[in-house]
């Protein structure tokens, strides 16, 4: 299920890029761009509240921040769950 949701996020971002390149008709392209910007803004706000979990990523923090901006809880929630399991 997580993979399907991540692919959905990627599809929205790709549609927004296609609209920006002029490859989608006006109304559809505009909707895709608004959806992509909205998702990115929500994930940026989300990042402010869950940065402690985002820092638990085993790679560079910048990569974890980027993944959180793209996928939101689909990225940081497994990190939080892993931390919870390690405390138990």
User: How do residues 44-66 score in pLDDT, each as one tens digit?
Assistant: 999 999 999 999 999 999 999 99
Domain count, the chain: 1
Crossing angle of helices 26-54/73-87, nearest 10°? 20
- Confidence tier at 15 by pLDDT (50, 70, 90): very high
Give the whole-angstrom CA distance, residue 59 versus residue 19: 32
Is residue 19's pLDDT more than 90? yes
Among candidate residues 17, 20, 13, the one with its CA nearest the CA of residue 40: 13
Is residue 87's pLDDT more than 90? no
> What pLDDT is stored for residue 86 in this prediction?
84
> What pLDDT is stored for residue 26 in this prediction?
82
By the 8 A CB rule, do 41 and 63 touch? no
Q: Which H or E run includes 18?
A: helix 2-20
pTM: 0.89
Domain hosting 44: range is: 2-87
Length of the chain equals 88
């Amino acid at each position: 299920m997580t993979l399907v949701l991540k692919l959905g996020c990627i599809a929205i971002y790709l549609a927004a890029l296609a609209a920006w390149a002029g490859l989608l008709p006006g109304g559809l392209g505009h909707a895709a761009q608004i959806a992509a910007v909205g998702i990115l803004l929500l994930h940026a706000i989300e990042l402010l509240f869950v940065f402690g979990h985002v820092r638990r990523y085993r790679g560079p923090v910048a990569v974890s921040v980027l993944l959180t901006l793209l996928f939101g809880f689909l990225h940081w929630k497994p990190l939080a769950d892993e931390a919870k399991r390690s405390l138990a």
